């Protein structure tokens, strides 16, 4: 067992900020935490430390098409035209391509302050739509990319069977995503030993959306694991209209009435809600998985954050399409969307509280719940943390939550000095230790895919 001790002038712990904190690590896990103590001679010494942020929703392969869907088509562009671009990109990817693209995405996540990713993974089959000899071949590429980058992985294989509400047959562009329940269960069994070899990995499932699964399939798939259950929901107004036409209920209304939604569940986007759905979602204990950069990029709409927080709701953030990977920018845009829509300031903060503090703490707690991980820097948790550059002009002279306000609203990712995963420093001065190799390989593969 490898042991070491680190000392920090300040640390954000689950109970709040503490000064002069000493943590003992055993094999990358936090074995002891003391505060109000001075450093011992052999301790590594750092300034301020924060728990790393969980990224609760990613489609890693979409990093490869970032910026490729920003040209206006002949008619009005929408989520649905973006999806056509995505389907064309997805047709070409091999398992090796997927690993190369995902590894770069995970390097960039770590550099920006994310230490765990929830990979909502739906690209399962070969280019012609046939299953690989090993049904978990594409998931294996995700597991390998997580291992190379060092990021913690909550793997969320997606169950996808239909192209619309009421069990419509899937379309040709969806052929690489499709399973029946028994084929999906067989893939999960292949995955369990793969994930057992990856430190701190968690297995969940992701019924893709109410348009892609029937009620019977939803119940069967959610019962296949003990881990998290994630679903895309109410992202688009067309989806709300189609759900009403199918069932007479709105998507979140239908889900809360027909599925055992609780703390295991993460409802990704949940953008379009009426008041009763806001209250019902908050009361369920499920996490609202918000993806502000992607939701802005796709023109989805704005989640009703103020009403959801007032009802006691729990949220986390995700980088989703990975068009831009930046933890602080997700939090900043989450708050700024609310400010612009409500013509108000400091919407996500409690009365008298720091907005940066409320955003970081909220996303750490909600992200951990959504990804089946231990929350924050506590005994027994992996030592996954971010250290700040206290000499940064937007952080200098500050402590406690004022550091988080400076980080989220002023410094951005430039205020991050180091990022640590399981006690290993993977990011130094804002750069991942494997960036050069992983980025060079990415450039070669993308040139081929786009050429
Ligand atoms: Zn998504």
Give tens-digit pLDDT for 88-114: 888 889 999 999 999 999 999 999 999
Select from 340, 264, 329 the least CA-distant residue to 305.
340
Separation CA 221–CA 358 (nearest Å) = 34
Instruction: Compute the CA torsion angle 253, 375, 324, 396 (nearest 10 deg).
Output: 130
Write the pLDDT tens digit of every residue in 153-192. Answer: 999 999 999 999 999 999 988 999 999 999 999 999 999 9
How does residue 31 score in pLDDT terms, banded at 50, 70 and 90?
Answer: very high
Predicted local confidence at residue 287, as pLDDT: 98
Separation CA 332–CA 349 (nearest Å) = 12
Separation CA 47–CA 36 (nearest Å) = 14
Q: How far is the CA of 231 from the centre of ligand 1 (A)?
A: 9
Q: How far is the CA of 118 from the centre of ligand 1 (A)?
A: 11
Write the pLDDT tens digit of every residue in 375-392. Answer: 999 999 999 999 999 999
Burial class (CB in 10 A: 0-12, 13-18, 19+), 173: middle
Predicted local confidence at residue 426, as pLDDT: 98
Q: How many CB atoms neighbour CB 85 within 10 A?
A: 16
Predicted local confidence at residue 215, as pLDDT: 98
The predicted model scores a pTM of: 0.97
Contact criterion met (CB below 8 Å) for 50 and 411:
no
What would the mean pLDDT of 137-160 be, rounded to a whole number?
A: 98
Write the pLDDT tens digit of every residue in 311-329. Answer: 999 999 999 999 999 999 9
- On the question of pLDDT at 86 being above 90, the answer is no
- On the question of pLDDT at 82 being above 90, the answer is no
Question: Mean of the per-residue pLDDT values for the chain?
Answer: 96
Beta strands across the sheet bearing 424-428: 29-34, 16-26, 3-13, 44-51, 385-388, 416-421, 424-428, 431-432
At residue 28, the 3 state secondary structure works out as: coil
Q: How far is the CA of 398 from the centre of ligand 1 (A)?
A: 36
Predicted local confidence at residue 382, as pLDDT: 97
Separation CA 236–CA 225 (nearest Å) = 28
- On the question of pLDDT at 49 being above 90, the answer is yes
Q: Tell me which of 73 and 299 has the higher pLDDT.
A: 299
Predicted local confidence at residue 329, as pLDDT: 98
Predicted local confidence at residue 87, as pLDDT: 82
Q: How far is the CA of 40 from the centre of ligand 1 (A)?
A: 46
Predicted local confidence at residue 173, as pLDDT: 86
Predicted local confidence at residue 389, as pLDDT: 96
What would the mean pLDDT of 343-350 be, rounded to a whole number?
A: 96
59 noted as active-site residue = no
Q: How far is the CA of 38 from the centre of ligand 1 (A)?
A: 45
320 noted as active-site residue = yes
- On the question of pLDDT at 80 being above 90, the answer is no
Predicted local confidence at residue 169, as pLDDT: 94
- On the question of pLDDT at 48 being above 80, the answer is yes
Sign of the torsion formed by the C-alpha atoms of 214, 215, 216 and 221 = positive
83 contacts: CB under 8 Å, gap ≥ 6: none
Write the pLDDT tens digit of every residue in 217-244. Answer: 999 999 999 999 999 999 999 999 999 9
Predicted local confidence at residue 78, as pLDDT: 75
Strand partners, 32: 24
Q: How far is the CA of 55 from the centre of ligand 1 (A)?
A: 12
Q: H/E element holding 108?
A: helix 95-112
Predicted local confidence at residue 374, as pLDDT: 94
Measured in Å, how far apart are the chain's first and last C-alpha atoms? 48
Task: Say which of 97, 200, 320, 401 is annotated catalytic.
Answer: 320
Six-digit token string for 364: 């750490």
- Counting runs of H as helices and runs of E as strands, what totals does the chain give? 14, 17
What would the mean pLDDT of 136-150 be, rounded to a whole number?
A: 98
What would the mean pLDDT of 258-285 be, rounded to a whole number?
A: 98
- Give the distance from CA 181 to its chain's centroid: 25
- On the question of pLDDT at 70 being above 90, the answer is no
Select from 52, 110, 47, 113 the least CA-distant residue to 395.
47
State percent of the chain over pLDDT 70: 100
Which residue is associated with the tokens 């297995």? 203
Q: How far is the CA of 312 from the centre of ligand 1 (A)?
A: 24
Task: Say which of 46, 57, 208, 269 is annotated catalytic.
Answer: 269
Predicted local confidence at residue 450, as pLDDT: 86
For helices 355-371 and 327-342, give the axis angle rounded to 10 degrees: 120
């Amino acid at each position: 067992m490898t042991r070491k001790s680190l000392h920090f002038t300040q640390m954000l712990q689950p109970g709040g900020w503490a000064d002069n904190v000493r943590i003992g690590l055993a094999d990358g896990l936090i074995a002891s935490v003391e505060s109000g103590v001075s450093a011992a001679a052999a301790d590594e010494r750092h300034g301020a430390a924060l728990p790393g942020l969980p990224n609760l929703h990613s489609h890693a392969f979409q990093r490869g098409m970032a910026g490729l869907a920003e040209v206006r088509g002949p008619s009005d562009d929408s989520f649905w035209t973006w999806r056509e671009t995505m389907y064309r990109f997805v047709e070409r990817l091999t398992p090796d391509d997927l690993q190369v693209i995902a590894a770069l995405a995970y390097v960039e996540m770590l550099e920006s302050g994310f230490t765990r990713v929830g990979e909502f993974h739906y690209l399962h089959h070969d280019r012609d739509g046939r299953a690989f000899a090993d049904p978990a071949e594409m998931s294996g590429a995700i597991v390998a990319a997580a291992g190379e980058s060092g990021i913690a992985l909550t793997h969320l294989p997606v169950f996808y069977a239909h192209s619309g509400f009421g069990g419509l047959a899937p379309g040709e562009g969806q052929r690489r995503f499709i399973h029946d329940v028994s084929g999906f269960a067989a893939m999960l069994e292949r995955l369990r030993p793969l994930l057992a070899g990856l430190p701190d990995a968690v297995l969940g499932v992701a019924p893709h959306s109410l348009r892609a699964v029937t009620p019977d399939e939803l119940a069967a798939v959610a019962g296949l694991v003990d881990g998290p259950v994630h679903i895309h929901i109410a992202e688009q107004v067309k989806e709300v209209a189609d759900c009403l036409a199918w069932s007479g209920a709105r998507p979140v209304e239908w889900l809360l009435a027909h599925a055992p939604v609780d703390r295991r569940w993460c409802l990704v986007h949940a953008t379009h809600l009426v008041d009763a759905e806001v209250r019902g979602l908050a009361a369920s204990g499920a996490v609202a998985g918000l993806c502000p950069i992607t939701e802005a990029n796709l023109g989805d709409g704005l989640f009703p954050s103020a009403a959801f927080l007032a009802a006691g709701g729990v949220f986390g953030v995700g980088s989703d399409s990975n068009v831009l990977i930046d933890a602080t920018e997700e939090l900043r845009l989450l708050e700024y969307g609310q400010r612009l829509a409500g013509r108000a300031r400091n919407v996500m903060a409690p009365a008298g509280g720091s907005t940066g503090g409320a955003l970081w703490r909220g996303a750490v707690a909600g992200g951990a719940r959504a990804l089946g991980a231990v929350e924050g820097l506590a005994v027994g948790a992996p030592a996954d943390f971010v250290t700040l550059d206290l000499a940064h002009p937007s952080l200098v002279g500050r402590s406690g939550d004022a550091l988080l306000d400076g980080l989220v609203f002023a410094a951005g990712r430039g205020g991050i000095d180091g990022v640590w995963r399981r006690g290993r420093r993977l990011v130094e001065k804002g750069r991942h230790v494997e960036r050069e190799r992983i980025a060079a390989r990415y450039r070669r593969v993308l040139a081929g895919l786009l050429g």
